[in-house]
Amino acid sequence: MELKRVVVTGLGAITPLGNTVNDFWEALKNGVSGSDLITHFDAGKFKTKFGCEVKNFDPKAHFERKELRKLDRYSQYALVATNEAIADSGIDLEKVNKDRVGVIYGSGIGGLETFMDEAMHYCRGDGTPRFSPFFIPKMISDIAAGHISIRYGFRGPNFGTVSACATSTNAILDAYNYIRLDKADVFVSGGSEASINPAGVGGFNAMQAISTNNENYKTASKPFDANRDGFVMGEGAGTLILEEYNHAIKRGAKIYAEVTGGGMSADAYHLTAPHPEGLGAALVMKNALEDAGMNPEEVDYINVHGTATPRGDISEILGILKVFGEHSYKLNISATKSMTGHLLGAAGAAEAIASLFALEYGIIPPTINHTTYDPEIDNKLNFTLNKAQKREVSVVLSNTFGFGGHNASIILKKHIV
């Protein structure tokens, strides 16, 4: 069968850099750090006392009190970002065939805050089981997709993806494949995460995965820098509206870009560490290029996973060099997690949005906080260090890699009217 073309027609975001997509992009291109001391709880006794929190978010401005009882913070973020994306898309909710509109929306962890609060409430009691009737539906990782579907009446395929930090890229790729197989006309897709709480920070501290640079928390997220010491936890949500090309053209939609391919792979190596030779990273990028029918030389910019973990950054760069060879030195590479922190399951969606704006405006967002070259990393590559760079961008590849060895990459191409 002939595969349908798929385009992006709407965007929404709530991030540590801003609570709309435009605020997010303005901060990205200006190299703003979203890192600050944690305010969600008292982190005084924790090894890490900072993170990239969403700021100035008032749930009561978006939801009725009765509704908030049913919504973990991660679902709140998902709904707010989705509302912006649907409005941005210009889809007429009265006319669109809702049987052909689906929702695939992921979270790497889901309602960790709800789980922690309910468990602590029980443990502090006398052993009598007193739990909220909303405990389970608030906590489960698929429920953001369910809330979106219910709110707008979308009756197409509906589920959540879970693949750790690759979650929302997987969600977007699933939506892309359903549309090109003609199973739907439109998808709401993306991811959300809200795990900056005692359980989240304590758990990642125990793994020695996150930075403990409390003295320099503003600049602690430093991908590719010799002094990097782990990722900085972030939170938020990103939503993309994916649409079948002719469906979008027929209604006169603004098209941000075309989704031309995607890849997935597994490291099959370790619970949390990447393959030291970058084999999984290389394979997922190779798979994405093959799916798009593109040569490596057609890619202009890679928005890398780039978490600032000591081994992760090296592994990803080795993968890029394997796949792109000499063209690696003509690419722009940047790690926007240096500004947003790591949004975990929402990272892929947020970074896809950053990639779409790079295509639209010809501006590569920077990798900030870099001061010292790492001798284990090929520093002849253009990491777009500390300041945005202008260049013509036609094709972007965005990488996301997750604990468990889950890898997902997406390729976005500039739409020429």
**Separation of alpha carbons 267 and 401, rounded Å:** 9
- Nearest alpha carbon to residue 73 among 232, 237, 241: 237
Task: Provide φ and ψ at 407, rounded to 5°.
Answer: -125, 135
For residue 363, count other CB atoms closer than 10 A to its CB: 17
User: Is 305 marked active-site?
Assistant: yes
Task: Provide φ and ψ at 389, rounded to 5°.
Answer: -125, 140
**Separation of alpha carbons 330 and 313, rounded Å:** 19
Task: Provide φ and ψ at 404, rounded to 5°.
Answer: 95, -5
To which residue do tokens 């595969």 refer? 3
The one catalytic residue in 275, 342, 370, 406 is: 342
Q: Specify whether the CB–CB gap between 105 and 160 falls below 8 A.
A: yes
The one catalytic residue in 165, 247, 275, 406 is: 165
For residue 249, the 8-state DSSP code is H
- Map residue 215 onto helix, strand or coil: helix
Burial class (CB in 10 A: 0-12, 13-18, 19+), 128: exposed
For residue 143, count other CB atoms closer than 10 A to its CB: 25
**Separation of alpha carbons 217 and 36, rounded Å:** 6
The one catalytic residue in 40, 305, 370, 406 is: 305
For residue 87, the 8-state DSSP code is H
Residues 6+ apart with CB under 8 A from 305: 165, 281, 312, 316, 335, 337, 347, 399, 400, 401
Task: Provide φ and ψ at 164, rounded to 5°.
Answer: 55, -130
List the Cα angle 155/157/158 in 5-degree steps: 85
Beta bridge partners of 193: 236
Which residues belong to the active site?
165, 305, 342
